[in-house]
Amino acid sequence: MGKELYEKSPLARELFKAANEILGFRITDIMFDGSEEDLRQTKVTQPAIFLHSIILAKTLDKQFQPDMVAGHSLGEFSALVAANVLSLEDGLHLVYRRALAMQKAGETSEGTMAAILGLPDGTVENICAGIDEIVIPANYNCPGQVVISGSLKGVDEACELLLAAGAKRALKLNVSGAFHSPLMEPAREELRKAINSVSFQTPIFPVYQNVSTQGETNLEKIKDNLIAQLTAPVKWTQSMQNMIASGADDFIELGPGNVLQSLINKIDPSVQTQGIS
């Protein structure tokens, strides 16, 4: 993961080495040569994806000049660095603190997530709202794809009811916690402290945030949304719709994989998408 970028770019090598020093361990060893199990640890996965995305953006330099940015969950931190709101060092510091807090919260309050395919958002919302256990829509990824999150019992009950309501699939995800649900409350408080310890700068272009779905430039709103995101749904569908309404018609996904391109194409097939990894 990110090894080709490291090998071909002197700037990338410099930034990856700096990241090892900031984190206090050689994350590059895990990214380049670690097992899939090693990479799947929340405390490794999140900083690894962040580094891959933002170092790639840095190496592109003037080839990467967006008019607006967004990131899905963790990706919002990469978007904030791209918009010069956070330095790479502060962004990595926050991502690592966030990852540790989320992993700890997942170990303390056992929960899970499941992808629900083929139902309207409203149906998923109504069924989750009628369940006694903790379970909420956590990711509005695209029309017909919502991820739910909550307690083990809550997600199991919701999956059963959603399948009965006509869902094509209810697929449990291999995650270490109930992300973007009330079970992440302890992590949210830890992230709040971390956010208040670093410097934020006014963005050079709007950042469309997961919580508000709007292009934000006000620093207090940006901070509040970033904190709220841990226990609130990722409204990706609505964020992309608002970006498109604001004139976005060509989306570039930076970092590993092409999931976001696929989601955007389902949200609005008329826009252009490409990926750089």
Nearest Cα neighbor of 149 from 258, 73, 226, 55 is: 73
Helix ranges, 24-173 (H): 27-33, 36-39, 42-60, 75-82, 88-108, 121-129, 152-164
User: Is 73 one of the catalytic residues?
Assistant: yes
Residue 248 makes CB contacts below 8 A (sequence gap 6+) with 67, 68, 271
Cα distances (angstroms) measured from residue 177 to each of 137, 151, 181: 14, 9, 9
Of 52, 72, 93, 180, which is the active-site residue? 180
User: What are 75's strand-pairing partners?
Assistant: none
Instruction: Yes or no: say if 245 and 214 are a contact pair by the CB < 8 Å rule.
Output: no
What φ, ψ does residue 166 adopt, rounded to 5°? 115, 10
**Set 73, 87, 262, 277: catalytic member:** 73
Catalytic, 52? Answer no
SS3 207: strand
Task: Count the Cβ atoms, other than its own, within 10 Å of residue 75.
Answer: 23
Q: Which residues are identified as catalytic?
A: 73, 180
